[in-house]
A and B are shown apart, each in its own frame.
Chain A
């Protein structure tokens, strides 16, 4: 031990006390930042709240509602579409951002579902191939929505389960350097974020005027579902069947090159075979949603243009109608 002879002996380390206080204050600041300033979280919270309101409006006078659940491919790919025969079923776009993680995307739909509603999963295969079910952004989204039930799927949580969920997510409730510095850079450059709340159409479809050179299209190569996501899908199927609802899976459309077209379709075939039995696969066409026409897509190989979203929604609904539950 080093000599501390010149120092008056003391028992409680002062620096440690200061550090503990600083950690508590820092986490407080971090939570405030996530709640009020984190731009991505702010955007998706605003969109989620709007979509919940849109759903309530769409629900009026409908016998049956099908919530379409997914990431941005759903958000940019599905508009509310009613059945032509009697107009009693309506597809409602509940898509958010795949970066939140599959558990949060599904959890958001579950909290908005009512008895007799159905769920149409259009979660990107890459997300279902991931071993991580909730991302940091997902935890932040749940916190900012003030609804940890989005990740626990517990619609009636106790105080203790809420606290446990909060502490589990605490390490992720920090913005991180890229988020803060990127926002700072955007402010300095006086540039808006890539996606805006204004991109949300009044009926829940997101549209953007951005057009990029999409190059070779999507390089999504997932042909399996991770064991974690398989478990999640099983849990979902069980929960829905208990509530008397149906669960279906449809592939989001994606852009690929002519060269990769065949192999992409094969991969999706493989992927569809892995779905749990209780989740019906919605077979729309032989191409399994793999497209080579880049004019169908907007700013990403997964984001449809407004026009192709209309076409896609109609095809999706008619395929859904053909499926007898």
Chain B
């Protein structure tokens, strides 16, 4: 289910046309009896997921069925009330094992226990498994802890597999998404379409023009010095943001057109003025998930081990992003930044623009952990970036020469464009106090469409977060 793949849109349009045909030609009362809106939404979602891969479909169906059946069992038996912790643990075990097997099996055997298993090496991670598993885990905990009633099976399947957000989030919560799913009806609503369309175009622009554009220009050999590494990290930082935010906005837009409001997963994260602010703006639903289901149960900020808890949460968050030591260190780095910020940074008074610059530089540095999957490369690049002698005049000259070649300059022009986009995000907040305001008027929409048509690379790129 790749929003950048025209096949997705063709199948979606065909599906919606067929569904609309039923809605027009078959009496509403009959359709209500068949639970037509809910069942057709499930079918469309499963077909779209099935076009990605049979494994992805199978794993999703397994996690959904096992979650619903076990929840049903636990809510009707008195055993649960007597053994609440044990039953939640058992449920989590059944829910999480596909995620652990497919995503971490090879890493655990090869890198942790140093005994590779050949059958695990070739496993392909089912699309969206990290997202919908977490959504269902959250749902299960909310349902059991708050003793909320279970929805009907078809409502639950639609909650777990609402097609715009199934493969890369946002990770929705029961309270927010389930009531909307229960009330969902296929209905032509021009207002909803107008509300969702700018988000869709905005998302496509971020993904196809900026993220894929960087990906197609990033082959430029800018040398191996510290400056080149910083430029590579900057380009990667923009790429991953525009890629993931692009997906999230497309999901948001499609859902809005269907009358469902999803949580905004990104809120101009590169405008953050401290690292804590960054995590309130980056992958918001995942941060909230970890806060509510890991950080708070560990004791939260009232615990004596608050800094340790914070580090634990960020290390787990790092590992959630990928099975590799580099992701472990990425999480640890962010955890440490937050601890340092709470201990020192929040007490120092410095101008906001400097706070922003420091945060931006620290975040760009963090992408080195994310993109260097080999530890020796990571160590080499970090050593280079932190070595003062790597920033001497000769290095500046060499870097300048690399940039002043057509490949280097093309990339720098695009990076400048990306900075412009971030500036517009900041301006939207500053002037209108609304995220992404300036991207959603008619003129901006037309310009983004022009850019999509002209600049989208001919070869297609998958969304980076599909791998997570």
Spell out A's residues near B (CB within 8 Å): 1-2, 4, 7, 9-16, 18-19, 22-23, 25-27, 29-30, 33, 136, 171-172, 174-178, 180-182, 184-186, 188-189, 191
Contact = CB atoms under 8 A, between A and B. Distances in A.
Nearest to B215: A177
B189 interface: yes
Interface stretch (B25-33, B130-138, B359-367, B407-415): B407-415
B187 A18 contact: no
Contacts of A22: 445-446, 449-450
A23 B217 contact: no
Interface of B: 6, 183, 185, 187-195, 197-198, 201, 209, 212-213, 216-217, 256, 259, 261, 404-407, 409-410, 413-414, 442, 445-446, 449-450, 452-458
Nearest to B201: A19
Contact of B191 (A10, A25, A181): A10
A19 to B, nearest CB: 6
A15 B197 contact: yes
Given A18-B446, A185-B409, A185-B413, A177 B457 contact: yes
Given A180-B455, A181-B213, 20 more contacts: A2-B195, A2-B259, A2-B261, A7-B191, A10-B191, A13-B190, A13-B194, A14-B194, A15-B194, A15-B442, A18-B445, A19-B449, A23-B453, A26-B452, A33-B454, A174-B453, A176-B456, A178-B217, A180-B454, A191-B406
Nearest to A21: B446
B57 to A, nearest CB: 27
Chain A interface mostly helix, strand, loop or mixed? Answer: helix
A177 B453 contact: no
A185 B406 contact: yes
A96 B458 CA distance: 21
A178 B190 contact: no
A55 B316 CA distance: 69
B194 A181 contact: no
Contacts, number: 119
Contact of A189 (B189, B259, B404): B404
Contacts of B442: 15, 18
A83 B197 CA distance: 66
B190 A176 contact: no
A23 B407 CA distance: 29
Chain B interface mostly helix, strand, loop or mixed? Answer: helix
B449 A16 contact: no
A4 B191 contact: yes
B108 to A, nearest CB: 37
A34 to B, nearest CB: 10
Contact of A177 (B201, B404, B455): B455
A90 B171 CA distance: 69
Residue in A11, A182, A185, A189 whose Cβ sees the most chain B Cβ within 10 Å? A185
Contacts of B213: 177, 181
B409 A1 contact: no
Given A15-B198, A182-B407, A10 B190 contact: yes
Contacts of A174: 453-456, 458
Residue in A136, A171, A172, A177 whose Cβ sees the most chain B Cβ within 10 Å? A177
A11 B189 CA distance: 7
Contacts of A177: 209, 212-213, 216-217, 414, 454-457
29 contacts: A2-B192, A2-B261, A4-B192, A9-B190, A10-B190, A11-B188, A13-B191, A14-B190, A15-B197, A15-B198, A15-B445, A19-B449, A22-B445, A22-B449, A25-B450, A26-B452, A26-B454, A174-B454, A176-B457, A177-B212, A177-B216, A177-B457, A178-B217, A181-B414, A182-B407, A185-B409, A188-B409, A189-B404, A189-B405
Given A15-B442, A177-B455, A178-B410, A9 B193 contact: no
Contacts of A2: 192, 195, 256, 259, 261
